[in-house]
Amino acid sequence: MGKHPLLRTNILVCSIIFIGFFLTAVLSYRSNIGVFEKDIEQVSTLATEGIYAQIESIFSRPVSVSLTMANDHLLKTFLSSEKRSLNNPEYVAKMRQYLDAYRRKYRYDSVFLVSANTKRYYHFSGLNRTLEKNNPENTWYYSFIQDNDEYSLNIDNDEATDDSITVFVNCKIRNAHGSVMGVVGVGFKVDSLQKLLHAYDEQFNVEASLINDRGIVEVSSVTNGHENADFFTGNPLSGFRERILGSSDDPETFWYSLDGRDGYVITQYIPTLKWHLVVENDVSEIRNTFRRQLVMNLFIIVCVIVLVLFTITRLIKKYHAQIVELTVSQETEYQQLLHKATEKLYENIDEMDITRNRAGSETTRRYFEKLGMDGNVSYDEALKTIARRQIKEEFIPGYLEMFKSENILEKYRNGINNLSYDFLYSEDGKNYHWMRINAQIFFWKSDQSVRMVVYRKNIDAEKRREQGLLEETQKDPMTSLFNKRATEQLITECLENPLSMNSKHAFLILDIDHFKNINDNYGHAIGDEVITEFASELKSQFRNDDIVGRIGGDEFVVLLRDYDRLETIREKLDRLCTKFARKNYGKKSFHISTSIGAALYPEQGASYPELYEKADQALYYSKTHGRGGFTIFGKEASVVDASRVDPRDLETLLHNATDGIAKFACTDDFHLLYYNRKWAELTGIPDSLLSSRSFRGLSLVHPEDREKTRAVISVAMESKTPFTLYFRLKHHDGHAIPVRFNGWFVSELYENRNPVFYGIYTDLSHVAATSL
């Protein structure tokens, strides 16, 4: 029905209505927002310009008056004669009259003078106090004296006028030599400036603040500099700190939207005050109103579309039902005829609509219902249910990967129309038989869908014949164990299986002791009898999941899978050696013993070659230490040298060698794995530091010789050839020792990936100096 003209008309009408309404709503919203933002920018600009002009007007005169007083010859004369008149009341009275005259003339709230010599604070009402340096109230004076500015502004409480908060304009007084004689200034109450900002806040619906270069609010409608409030603390504008405080003489403007708050900001630097004027217009509520209106418009659109859909659907409902009834009837008849024609070849035939991810026929829907699913369940869900209930576990991943809808569509796009998959199938979850699915992918033009017809065929007899032939090619003809090739292949597949990553396996090599004597003295026929009986006994000692094979002559390999602890392996190998030793083999009842070498996965190797090498070395150790026993590589013996020296003797030889000997792994800085006593004495480094996992061998090489050393070792690692180096060895106390380093790589790998090499250090301190 997806291509029916009425349905297409339904979709087309709804699309046109939705697009039309949606575009109208969005364009209207954007238009209103544009006009609104332009108005906000204009209003904020007018407010900023007005505040800036008013502040310039308010502060320009106090600055000018303060500078005039600072250069007044009479005031300088007063200060020059201060020390001679410290106890003269008339001097204080004249100073008070001078200051009060300026206060009354310019109508300021405060006029003061501080003497640099005596630190006396003169006020328009008389001598106020002496400024002590350790008093926090006087910090402003001592800070101002130290900086290079000729005048400054600060907001503080005026102790001389009932501690009212006052804006002070301070100027330095200098003598003819340029030395500071004192500080004079005028002050006016900050509330007048706050009233100005408050008036603009109310008139233009903005928030205006004056902040200094440290971001401290000097004046706002609700805050003054005496409170030491940080403008950016808890403010969404904290992310714009550098942009606001770094503004030049030109105004800086920007919009922001942070933490659910929208706004427009203008910041203007005021050079006269060295403050920043920040005017913020919070438009969050207005924008939210616009957004709610947009959502309401979209809701109306949805309601209209739903009404249209409902009306059109009612009109086509009867017609659709008639078409479906006719289609089902025809399809059922077709499926019955198809089933009758193919029932001798296939057990079931199902059809899937891959494009719509559902059953493609009524017969398939009934099959889904038979399995307890809804007939209209999605194809992918049905696929998972069938796999879980009817397919053996190890075949489920491949089944799902091949027949999932994404893969079917990909195959069709790549021109692949036929798929086939063999698996073990069961209807009761217990009895499995081989089943083959053949799938044909095709495109059905009638409803523009990719479809797949699935044929299921019982191939149990055919598959078992194939497996029988495969097993014959994998078996050793004499013992019926796996042959060498099959043994290596099966063990490799087991080790590479992702399920083995968290498992522990034991790799065993078994060799019959002195078997050559039996062949030489009694003939190969008798030897074959012994091999056959031994193989039978060996197979009986292991589980069906373990891999047991004969790899040549009297040598056998076993992979003991999924052991729990090392003691289990020891007990198992001990029982094997005892079992083989007690039994008589062949018609002549030979008494034989068996030597066993073992390597553990994954700690001693992650591949067949690695495990075989370690187990073979362990087997050699068993052969050279009495036979008839077992050895686990790395525990009882670690035979890595071609000379096959007893490790117990080798350890003593290395430890007491007259040259320093060390073993390294080729990590970034050469991880130290072993060292002897002479090497430790040569470096002078304590054992506690050498044994640390963080110690690196390259740190012992003189810094100037490290690159050369690393380069030579890298070349030798690639070619696996012995090498010789001359470099300076850093002693623990800091001096350098010239050494000759003879090194060679071995077949061992550190952590299964890093090459390992040994080195012999020969002290050349007694030899004449040589260029290294």
Q: Mean pLDDT across the stretch 570-587?
A: 87
CA distances from residue 300 to 30, 249, 289 in whole angstroms, order as listed:
18, 50, 17
Weakest-pLDDT range from 297-301, 443-447, 660-664, 728-732: 297-301
Mean pLDDT, residues 499-521: 88
Which of the listed CATH numbers 3.30.365.10, 3.40.50.300, 3.40.630.30, 3.30.450.20 matches domain 192-283? 3.30.450.20
- For every residue of 198-221, DSSP letters joined together read HHHHHHHT-EEEEE-TTSBEEEES
Secondary element (H or E) of residue 631: strand 630-632
Residue 182 one-letter amino acid:
G
The answer on pLDDT for 363 being more than 90 is no
Asked whether the beta carbons of 761 and 741 are under 8 A apart, the reply is yes
Report cis status (omega within 30 of 0) of the bond before 602: yes
Q: CA-to-CA distance for 499 and 495, rounded, in angstroms?
A: 9
Look at 6-20, 491-505, 528-542 and tell me which has the smallest mean pLDDT: 6-20
Contact status, residue 473 vs residue 28, Cβ threshold 8 Å? no
Q: Give the pLDDT confidence of 397-413 residue by residue, as tens digits.
A: 999 999 999 999 999 99
What's the average model confidence in pLDDT over 583-600? 86
How far is it, in rounded angstroms, from Cα 678 to Cα 659?
6
- pLDDT at residue 196 is higher than 50: yes
Q: Which CATH class is domain 475-632?
A: alpha beta
Residue 118: burial class (beta carbons within 10 Å; 0-12, 13-18, 19+): middle
Share above pLDDT 90 across residues of the chain, in percent, rounded to a whole number: 22
**pLDDT band at 347, cuts 50/70/90?**
low
Half-sphere exposure at residue 53, Cβ-oriented, CA atoms within 13 angstroms:
7
Least confident piece of the model among 434-448, 449-463, 642-656, 678-692? 642-656
Taking residues 70-79, report their average pLDDT.
85
State the Cα–Cα distance between residues 629 and 316, nearest whole angstrom.
87
Question: For position 396, what pLDDT does the model report?
Answer: 92
720-738 pLDDT per residue, tens: 889 999 999 988 888 899 9
Q: How confident is the model at residue 654 (pLDDT cuts 50, 70, 90)?
A: low
Closest by Cα among 42, 43, 58, 51 to 221 = 51
Residue 689 has a pLDDT of 81
Average model confidence (pLDDT) across the chain: 82
Is the per-residue pLDDT at 489 higher than 70?
yes
User: Dihedral of the CA atoms 374, 378, 384, 389 (nearest 10)?
Assistant: 20
The C-alpha atoms of residue 589 and residue 583 are separated, in whole angstroms, by: 8
Q: Give residue-wise pLDDT tens across range 442-473.
A: 998 878 899 999 988 888 888 787 777 666 77
Q: Contacts for 711-719 with beta carbons within 8 Å, 24 or more apart?
A: 713/666, 713/670, 713/743, 713/757, 716/743, 716/745, 716/757, 717/666, 717/745, 717/755, 717/757
Report DSSP state, residue 233.
T
**Whole-number pLDDT of residue 18:** 74
Confidence of residue 338 (pLDDT cuts 50, 70, 90): low
Name the most confidently modeled range: 496-510, 597-611, 662-676.
597-611
CATH number of the structural domain 71-191: 3.30.450.20
Tell me the CATH architecture of domain 345-464. Answer: 2-Layer Sandwich (3.30)
* pLDDT score at 643: 37
The secondary structure of residue 769, as a DSSP letter, is P
CA 222 to mean position of chain CA atoms: 46
CATH 3.30.450.20 residue ranges in the chain? 71-191, 192-283, 345-464, 647-763
More confident residue, 212 or 512: 512
Mean pLDDT of 474-484: 91
**Has residue 56 got a pLDDT over 80?**
no
User: What residue has token string 């077949």?
Assistant: 747
CA 422 from chain center: how many Å? 41
CA distance 648 to 260: 75
Residue 488: C-alpha distances to residues 422, 436, 616 (Å): 25, 29, 15
Instruction: State the pLDDT confidence band at 1, using cuts at 50, 70 and 90.
Output: very low
Q: What is the pLDDT of residue 211?
A: 84
pLDDT of residue 768: 44
pLDDT at 330: 65
- Would strands 584-585 and 594-601 be described as parallel, antiparallel, or unpaired? unpaired
Query: Which residue ranges does the chain devote to CATH 3.30.70.270?
Result: 475-632
352 touches 452 (CB < 8 A): yes
120 closest CA partner among 162, 161, 88? 88
Among 284-293, 315-324, 585-594, name the one with the lowest average pLDDT: 315-324
Does 117 have pLDDT greater than 80?
yes
d(CA 622, CA 631): 6
pLDDT tier for residue 687 given thresholds of 50, 70 and 90: confident
pLDDT of residue 641: 38
Of the candidates 10, 5, 14, the one whose C-alpha atom is nearest the C-alpha of residue 323 is: 5
pLDDT band at residue 333, thresholds of 50, 70 and 90? Answer: low
pLDDT band at 640 (very low <50, low <70, confident <90, very high): very low
> What CATH number has the domain spanning 647-763?
3.30.450.20
Q: Is the pLDDT of residue 770 over 50?
A: no
